[in-house]
Amino acid sequence: MRSVTVLGATGSVGRSTLDLVERAPDRFRVRALTANCDVDALAVAARRTRAGLAVVADEACLPALREALAGSGVRATGGRHAVIEAAAGADWTMAAIVGCAGLEPVMAAIAGGGTVVLANKEPLVSAGELVLAAARASGATLLPADSEHNAIFQCFDFARPERVRRIVLTGSGGPFRDWTREAMRNATPEQAVAHPNWSMGAKISVDSATLFNKGLELIEAARLFPVPPDAIEIVIHPQSVIHSLVDYVDGSMLAQLGPSDMRVPIAHTLAWPDRMPTPMAPLDLVALGRLDFAAPDAARFPALGLARAALVAGGARPAILNAANEVAVAAFLQRRIGFLEIAAIVADTLTRYDPPAPATLDAVLAVDTEARALAGERVKDCVS
């Protein structure tokens, strides 16, 4: 019986994780579930899974959570620190908070040891070296849940990394894959979150439309796998069937294929190094018929160039890129800025802010805060 904690349990990845956990009650016991303020969904999930603890990050939501859990036997806590406290101590932890808000909980989960599964990619982008160093220090096992990185993890020969020539990250191209810049200028939040293949939270859906998601994944891949940045390539693959590939020096390319459902990579991390059944039907290759590939268009999607430059420059650049993107995506979802302004605000923040490389968690958080403030100013300029 393994104890399981799900950080971000009310979100898209959190719900997929609980779906799998609840299908195997003899294998998993829920230790803690966290959310920001979705009290109803959190309380329902906590009661259903008989969780030991339910936590809301927004302390103002704690009275409602206590009320919703009255008589259930589930303990309720609230506040940012309560989430950080709840993050440590499970055998298996899913990190599925959205954004850099997940950084401190991820660090706490890693410090607690056990297996920490990273869906939440922003902490790896902003503080990759610190995250990896913390895992080395505590002996925690980090596993990637992001479908691309999980695919690479399944195909990568960690015993012979020098035999890997390239990693190929696939991406669907998002809902605006074939749109002109002119058409994208008037794209609405509804159009941006309507991903053709995946059902995901709003932030990552917008990131998929700008291709910042692929840019963040490029940085994530460089953190997780021992290959240089120029050995990581991005290829557009509209069907999202091949989740990524590893190219070896002898010309062999190993790929992982599967349905576009996060329960596949999550199940891999839940059972790893074993396998467990999922409710997904096997891929029907004949019905699929064909798989297409294309080069990404860096001119229509400037996010790709910005992310690669941030990765190569290193230091604080990835944290600034990520923070500015989070602010710009939130402003776009609130209809305060246009779609094309997301990448413009990220580029502008990177130009205006160039601090030294942050060496501690506090320093990363300070860079994140300052980059958010600068990006926020630019949002106001766009609005006025």
C-alpha atoms less than 13 angstroms from C-alpha of 206 in its C-beta half-sphere = 25
Q: What is the CA radius of gyration of the chain?
A: 20
User: Where does this chain touch ligand NDP (CB under 6 A) — which range of 9-17, 166-174, 311-319, 345-353?
Assistant: 9-17
Q: Kindly identify the residues of this chain, within the stretch 69-108, that bind ligand NDP according to CB under 6 A.
A: 83, 96-98, 101
Q: Kindly identify the residues of this chain, within the stretch 165-204, that bind ligand NDP according to CB under 6 A.
A: 198, 200-201, 203-204
The smaller minimum CB distance to ligand NDP, of residues 151 and 187, is found at 151
- Is 8 one of the binding residues for ligand NDP (CB under 6 A)? yes
User: Where does this chain touch ligand NDP (CB under 6 A) — which range of 3-11, 45-53, 127-135, 362-370?
Assistant: 3-11
The smaller minimum CB distance to ligand NDP, of residues 12 and 154, is found at 12
User: Where does this chain touch ligand NDP (CB under 6 A) — which range of 33-41, 285-293, 298-306, 326-334?
Assistant: 33-41
Q: Kindly identify the residues of this chain, within the stretch 123-142, that bind ligand NDP according to CB under 6 A.
A: none
CA-angle at 231, arms to 226 and 234, nearest 5°:
115
Nearest distance in Å: CB 183, ligand NDP: 25
Tokens 């055998």 belong to 91
List, in sequence order, every beta strand (DSSP E) within the chain: 2-7, 28-35, 53-56, 75-78, 92-95, 115-118, 141-144, 164-171, 232-236, 242-248, 253-257
Peptide bond into 161 cis (omega under 30): no
Query: Of 20, 21, 32, 35, which lies in the binding site for ligand NDP, with binding defined by CB under 6 A?
Result: 35
The smaller minimum CB distance to ligand NDP, of residues 214 and 317, is found at 214
Q: What tokens were used for 230?
A: 């120029």
Letter string b/e over residues 161-179, b meaning 16 or more CB atoms within 10 A of that residue's CB: eeebeebbbbbbbbbbbeb
The smaller minimum CB distance to ligand NDP, of residues 306 and 330, is found at 330
- Is 46 one of the binding residues for ligand NDP (CB under 6 A)? no
Report the amino acid identity of residue 58.
Answer: D
- Is 296 one of the binding residues for ligand NDP (CB under 6 A)? no
Q: What tokens were used for 181?
A: 């810049």
Q: Please count the residues of this chain forming the interface with ligand NDP, following the rule CB under 6 A.
A: 28
Residue with the shortest CB distance to ligand NDP: 11
Q: How big is the chain, counted in residues?
A: 384
Q: Residue 116 has what DSSP assignment? A: E
CA nearest 129: which of 146, 147, 112, 110?
110
CB-count burial class (<10 Å; 0-12, 13-18, 19+) for 277? exposed
Query: Of 4, 13, 45, 246, which lies in the binding site for ligand NDP, with binding defined by CB under 6 A?
Result: 13
- Is 38 one of the binding residues for ligand NDP (CB under 6 A)? yes
Contacts with ligand NDP by CB under 6 A lie at: 8-14, 35-38, 57, 83, 96-98, 101, 119-122, 146, 198, 200-201, 203-204, 262
